Amino acid sequence: MTGTELLRWLLGHPLAKVVAVASSGGERSGVSIAELSPALAGRCDLICEAPDPERLAKRCDVVFLALPHTVSMSMVPRLLAAGTRVIDLSADYRLKDTALFQRWYGTLHLDPSHLKESVYGLPELYRERIRQAALVANPGCYPTSVLLGLAPLVRERLVAPGEPIMVDAKSGVTGAGRKVAVEYLFAEINENLRPYKVDGHQHTPEIEQELSVIAAKDGLGPLVFVPHLIPMNRGLLSTMYVRLRKPVDAEALAQLYHRQYAAEPFVRVKPVGKMPQTQESLGTNYCDIGVAVRKQPPMAIVVSAIDNLAKGAATQAIHNMNLMFGLAETAGLV
Amino acid sequence: MTGTELLRWLLGHPLAKVVAVASSGGERSGVSIAELSPALAGRCDLICEAPDPERLAKRCDVVFLALPHTVSMSMVPRLLAAGTRVIDLSADYRLKDTALFQRWYGTLHLDPSHLKESVYGLPELYRERIRQAALVANPGCYPTSVLLGLAPLVRERLVAPGEPIMVDAKSGVTGAGRKVAVEYLFAEINENLRPYKVDGHQHTPEIEQELSVIAAKDGLGPLVFVPHLIPMNRGLLSTMYVRLRKPVDAEALAQLYHRQYAAEPFVRVKPVGKMPQTQESLGTNYCDIGVAVRKQPPMAIVVSAIDNLAKGAATQAIHNMNLMFGLAETAGLV
Amino acid sequence: MTGTELLRWLLGHPLAKVVAVASSGGERSGVSIAELSPALAGRCDLICEAPDPERLAKRCDVVFLALPHTVSMSMVPRLLAAGTRVIDLSADYRLKDTALFQRWYGTLHLDPSHLKESVYGLPELYRERIRQAALVANPGCYPTSVLLGLAPLVRERLVAPGEPIMVDAKSGVTGAGRKVAVEYLFAEINENLRPYKVDGHQHTPEIEQELSVIAAKDGLGPLVFVPHLIPMNRGLLSTMYVRLRKPVDAEALAQLYHRQYAAEPFVRVKPVGKMPQTQESLGTNYCDIGVAVRKQPPMAIVVSAIDNLAKGAATQAIHNMNLMFGLAETAGLV
Amino acid sequence: MTGTELLRWLLGHPLAKVVAVASSGGERSGVSIAELSPALAGRCDLICEAPDPERLAKRCDVVFLALPHTVSMSMVPRLLAAGTRVIDLSADYRLKDTALFQRWYGTLHLDPSHLKESVYGLPELYRERIRQAALVANPGCYPTSVLLGLAPLVRERLVAPGEPIMVDAKSGVTGAGRKVAVEYLFAEINENLRPYKVDGHQHTPEIEQELSVIAAKDGLGPLVFVPHLIPMNRGLLSTMYVRLRKPVDAEALAQLYHRQYAAEPFVRVKPVGKMPQTQESLGTNYCDIGVAVRKQPPMAIVVSAIDNLAKGAATQAIHNMNLMFGLAETAGLV
């Protein structure tokens, strides 16, 4: 699903040319994209290839990998060795700690050396390093929304040390890709609402890792992350409850966010009293953020919304590509 | 899905007692209903049994079969032989012509003798025979809505002979049961709309068979049946385009329908100018019907709506049970 | 919307008889229920009356009020004076503190004397008092789910004193009734998700009041309540983040909930590792609860789900009626 | 709603520049677009103007009118007089017969002279005339899907003369714009399905007019048009039942469609056995068409799908603009 979304955006990118599409196991080799994704008929006449890293590298400046977790890392070394750059949309190069990777993804990391060099592809945090990167680990959808929502508070050292940060996240079902299982059937999702992987989602360590980087020596409390499945195709909204060191005025807090994101082309901060809704960023690379506060105890309630398949995956990958090749950051994205 | 719906209604029936539940292949034997259907926790403490016809027959006045097509007919003979009555919600005993059955369901009919005795369980057409029946073939959801919509026109010999009858039907996805396939995933159904099995749905011969019975010697034209999948859980609406022998006044036509269904507890006819919508019959055994006309050429547009899982399956089965056991027709249904 | 839902349930209640229906402003007097709610055609042939308290009281053992907030309290005194009992589904008699009522509902309370005598209609908390009550204040949908979710923790004095309790709530749109406004149009809700009234919803003081009653002398921290609008018709789920005095084992916590609700016919506690989803309680009077824990810092995550129009309004009102008239608690509800 | 959609597309058009936005009654003058449509924040910093035709004409090569029906025709004469070209998305210049206009829209046509010169903006039918047009009447969403579906049959003189053509159409709710009425509330549309304006929709004469133009001297039968409201935001699918002069082979018919649309950039014909679904053209200017046939009586079943807000309104308008200004037809549209 992410792959199709990415392809759709790339086909409309004025400065990119899609020269090859390959399917992971090769089982779709020889099938046309138009047949696999009838929505792309008339827009793309490529035929799906077998995933031959060297053949791909020869023809491509950059290869996007939209593969299942743990499959990417067997392709990446050969792609990099063959001289192309890689944007990996899987989780394989996001966690810097291989022990953590093994615990959450249930398998040994096969490529620790490239893991070290890989750059976490959140442009708002790593813009300069992404420009130079050979390998970009495109963030997960939940981490994108949570990190953009919390970064200003952490950077300003406003978060009360040691206090747990509660993240109540809600996502449309495309976050789960096209997994064919009873629980993703229409009748099980529609007119239904449920939490899942309560306090045990694999995106938790990814968020914690990046918050720690921002916090530096500050002792951040643990993250309590509870995702929910919402009866909609796309859209993701995180509601974050953060204890602060001291009371902050709502207007001052909104100003702080405005300042920190003033130069960012894809983060929009709401005026006090307004909150994001997912529909406003649907089909875009925007992250919308709103804030509210409590005096006693000092708290911030931060809400951030993105399109999980766009900013949470495909368009963020293209943003990264734009940075890596010195293109306008917004090229192909508005 | 039909089985769970049926169980839910039976548990609320004031005169029925559910004494046993069995799973088709026996693979769920020993598992509690509350675990299989958490919605029924606290309402039903039965444990799923292996499907032993003789054991079931010994304890039950009637057995409902909500089995996949072609599985029912291997159970029915043993159930009937053991002395219980059967309401079969599958298609196995609906088509009287075994050749037709074989063509549409791809397998030989294994039980032609009981097929002959079985009664088509549409109470509005076969009330008296259902009362006496040992085996009732509960109608499909599309046929229920179409037959109730067309019966008055056919009975009054208003349909232009030989002219095709167009039925454009729309159904929520539970009509497909809990089939686990890519095309029934939430993201493939939600915000989407599609026809399927255009002019080739297995319910077509069932409708034709029953229309012929009503038409008797009248030469009805062919049925053109095009079903569509609608992004909703439940509800089914058929829009029928029927050429008439001669122009009919809208008011007169509505009156005709009112008269024909005056004694029916579960058919509601709309006044001229109003049309059914599926929400109004949701979770009920009602079929709602509205009519409009054209003078030139003489035509009727008939719209009928039901809840596909209720009147189209579970509650119609209970209506049949009520008839078979001399209970009030509406018992447990309002 | 609540009124129609209530009527639907009462029509199916084996021991209740609906003898009159009145519309609030009287503007629908003389119109049949079947016309106002075509879904009830064939089930109810009553004509809507003008709201004459004395005439209603004369014929009714109990009157249900499903009126806008602030309208009920002008009817209640006359109904009680005329000798009938009242179940009020509005917010008018829920807050015991008239100053609080005035702050949140923007108007002076007109009937403080009956307010004092009224009983908060959550059977799980006030069963015995409800039996004797002349006036029952039926709880709001959010408070129902939150109070049932938190009561066991508060009663056992497990909640860390002074620490804020975060409630992230999600509701289908029927919670808003049939309010005709741009933000409730289909296209504004469907494929969208948004928080609203962040930390400022009028149900907050109702929850705080009742938690204080349970907590007695325990110093509960403030409630942080953030509701969200979900693209579904019905269903409400609250995710609650609660700091505890000391770590609790998940299994022990689930057992605690099981024990406290063992005798309750309409509360179901999930085994450890399972969480509620709204679909399982849809169209029922059940509240489903699941729990998870954190060791460090000691925390419970409690999730509770109800049908906002049923347990959150109409069926809870019927549960109250059953108690008030000495009927079986589950009569008409399963 | 159409206006916002149009603006979104124009902002992404590489060769267009939006220099002014005006609101119809002027009641939004002075309000920023970002405030009116938060989804456009960061993409458009225009302020809504009063609708001054001369001021607009002075600065614009073309003005798009997304006004309510009957309002456009009071603006168009002044815009044309001031020397700008106009693409009108309302119905005001679609019906060539002013008597017909008056009957269906309930008001006298105020601008019959420009009506005569206006060009019906379906590029597949009027490409050359659109290039030269000063005033283009952008087609309705239903007519777009129906005309593209039927044109090949009519052009080839395959339609049986005099026989009614049945069009069963289904549309997402944005077709109704942002009309604030009970019947468009989320809870009235979601999990619901209904026909509306059965055989009396105002798009009927528009379709008949254009079919007549194609048919020329052929005597086409009457159009029976029944639209249905589907619980989805966007997408429109028409299922058309057409009697033919003589039986046609499915493969031959599909080939006929392929040939007729071979040069069209935005019409895609499905291979035999496949049918369109709305999701495949969502957010695009494509119209997808599939065909099936019946031998006896000779019939074609044609299914066409579009995005009602895109090909059915906004992107078709841009396609027209591209033609009028000699741009690549696909500019800004893929």
In whole numbers, what is the pLDDT of chain B averaged over residues?
95
**Residue B177 pLDDT greater than 80, yes or no:** no
* pLDDT at residue B307 in the model: 98
Residue in D234, D305, B277 with CA at minimum distance from that of residue C187: D234
The predicted-structure confidence for D287-304, as pLDDT tens digits, reads as follows: 999 999 999 999 999 999
**Residue C25 pLDDT greater than 80, yes or no:** no
Beta strands B135-137; B119-120: pairing state: parallel
Q: What are the start and end residues of each CATH 3.30.360.10 domain in chain D?
A: 142-306
Which DSSP string corresponds to A117-146? H-EE--HHHHHHHHHH-SEEEPPPHHHHHH
Q: Within its chain, how far is the Cα of B210 from the centroid? A: 13
**Residue D131 pLDDT greater than 90, yes or no:** yes
* pLDDT at residue D1 in the model: 84
Residue B277 Cα, gap to closest chain D Cα (Å):
5
CB atoms C199 and A237 under 8 Å: no
The predicted-structure confidence for C196-232, as pLDDT tens digits, reads as follows: 999 889 999 999 999 999 998 778 999 999 999 999 9
**Residue C177 pLDDT greater than 70, yes or no:** no
Q: Using 50, 70 and 90 to split pLDDT, how confident is the model at C7?
A: very high
* pLDDT at residue C28 in the model: 86
Q: CB of C120 within 8 A of CB of C128? A: no
The predicted-structure confidence for D182-237, as pLDDT tens digits, reads as follows: 899 999 999 999 999 998 899 999 999 999 999 987 789 999 999 999 999 999 99
Q: Using 50, 70 and 90 to split pLDDT, how confident is the model at C72?
A: very high
CB atoms D42 and A14 under 8 Å: no
CB atoms C233 and D189 under 8 Å: no
- Residues in chain B with CB shorter than 8 Å from the CB of C311 are none
| Number of other residues whose CB lies within 10 A of the CB of residue A177 | 17
SS3 A93: coil
* pLDDT at residue C326 in the model: 98
Q: How large is the average pLDDT for residues B284-313?
A: 97
The partner residues of C316 in beta bridges, in order of sequence, read none
Q: Is D193 within 8 Å of chain B by CB?
A: yes
Bond into D195 cis (ω within 30): no
* pLDDT at residue D199 in the model: 84
- Percent pLDDT > 90 in chain A is 90
Q: How large is the average pLDDT for residues D274-297?
A: 97
**Residue A177 pLDDT greater than 70, yes or no:** no
Architecture field, domain A142-306: 2-Layer Sandwich (3.30)
Q: Is C233 within 8 Å of chain D by CB?
A: yes
The predicted-structure confidence for B232-277, as pLDDT tens digits, reads as follows: 999 999 999 999 999 999 999 999 999 999 999 999 999 999 999 9
The predicted-structure confidence for C129-167, as pLDDT tens digits, reads as follows: 999 999 999 999 999 999 999 999 999 999 999 999 999
The predicted-structure confidence for B76-89, as pLDDT tens digits, reads as follows: 999 999 999 999 99
* pLDDT at residue B24 in the model: 78
Q: CB of A6 within 8 A of CB of A318? A: yes
Residue B305 Cα, gap to closest chain A Cα (Å):
20
Chains with 3 or more CB pairs under 8 A to chain C: A, B, D
Residue A82 Cα, gap to closest chain B Cα (Å):
36
DSSP one-letter code for D262:
T
CB atoms C180 and D178 under 8 Å: no
- Residues in chain C with CB shorter than 8 Å from the CB of A193 are 170, 172, 230, 232, 235, 237, 277-278, 305
**Residue D83 pLDDT greater than 90, yes or no:** yes
Q: How large is the average pLDDT for residues A238-251?
A: 97
Spatial separation of the C-alpha atoms in residues D283 and C267, rounded to whole Å:
45
- Percent pLDDT > 70 in chain D is 99
Of B12, B280, B334, the CB nearest to C38: B280
Interface test with C, best of B5, B7, B178, B268 (most C CBs within 10 A): B268
Q: Is C113 within 8 Å of chain B by CB?
A: no
* 75-104 in chain B: CB under 8 A from chain D: none
Which DSSP string corresponds to D143-154? HHHHHHHHHHHH
Residue D70 Cα, gap to closest chain B Cα (Å):
26
C-alpha neighbours within 13 Å on the C-beta side of residue B145: 34
Angle at A159 between CA C244 and CA A235, to 5 degrees: 85
A41 is written with which tokens? 């008929």
Of A174, A181, A232, the CB nearest to B180: A181
ipTM for the predicted complex? 0.96
β strands within chain A, DSSP E: 21-22, 48-49, 62-65, 85-88, 119-120, 135-137, 165-171, 194-195, 223-229, 236-243, 267-269, 287-294, 299-306
CB atoms C233 and D190 under 8 Å: yes
The predicted-structure confidence for B126-162, as pLDDT tens digits, reads as follows: 999 999 999 999 999 999 999 999 999 999 999 999 9
* pLDDT at residue D24 in the model: 78
Backbone torsions φ then ψ of B180, nearest 5 degrees: -90, 100
**Residue B229 pLDDT greater than 80, yes or no:** yes
CB atoms A180 and B185 under 8 Å: yes
C287 is catalytic: no
β strands within chain C, DSSP E: 21-22, 48-49, 62-65, 85-88, 119-120, 135-137, 165-171, 194-195, 223-229, 236-243, 267-269, 287-294, 299-306
Of D38, D43, D284, the CB nearest to A334: D43
Q: What are the start and end residues of each CATH 3.30.360.10 domain in chain B?
A: 142-307
CB atoms D233 and C184 under 8 Å: no
CATH homologous superfamily, domain A2-138+313-324: NAD(P)-binding Rossmann-like Domain (3.40.50.720)
Bond into C297 cis (ω within 30): yes
- Residues in chain D with CB shorter than 8 Å from the CB of B250 are none
DSSP one-letter code for C288:
E
Chains with 3 or more CB pairs under 8 A to chain A: B, C, D
Interface test with B, best of D194, D284, D304 (most B CBs within 10 A): D194
DSSP one-letter code for C313:
T
Identify the closest residue of chain D to A333 by CA–CA distance: D12
Query: What is the fold of B2-139+312-324?
Result: Rossmann fold (3.40.50)
C-alpha neighbours within 13 Å on the C-beta side of residue D314: 26
- Residues in chain B with CB shorter than 8 Å from the CB of C191 are 191
Q: CB of A89 within 8 A of CB of A10? A: no
- In this structure, which CATH number among 3.20.19.10, 3.30.360.10, 3.20.20.140, 1.20.1730.10 belongs to the domain B142-307? 3.30.360.10
Q: Using 50, 70 and 90 to split pLDDT, how confident is the model at A334?
A: confident
* 46-75 in chain D: CB under 8 A from chain C: none
**Residue D23 pLDDT greater than 90, yes or no:** no
**Residue D117 pLDDT greater than 90, yes or no:** yes
**Residue D177 pLDDT greater than 70, yes or no:** no
